[in-house]
Amino acid sequence: MAKWSDIREKHLSDPEVAEEYEKLPPVELVAQIIKARKTRGLTQEDLARMIGTKQPAIARIESGKYLGCSIGTLLKIAEALDMSLTISPRRKIRFNTSTPENSQGGSQRKATEA
Burial class (CB in 10 A: 0-12, 13-18, 19+), 24: exposed
Query: What is the pLDDT confidence band of residue 107, given thresholds at 50, 70 and 90?
Result: very low
Total-model pTM:
0.60
Contact (Cβ atoms closer than 8 angstroms) between residue 16 and residue 22: no
pLDDT digits (tens, 9 = 90+) for 53-94: 999 999 999 998 888 889 999 999 999 999 999 887 777 666
Residues 6+ apart with CB under 8 A from 53: 73
CA pair distance 68, 76, nearest whole angstrom:
15
Structural domains of the chain, with CATH: 24-89 (1.10.260.40)
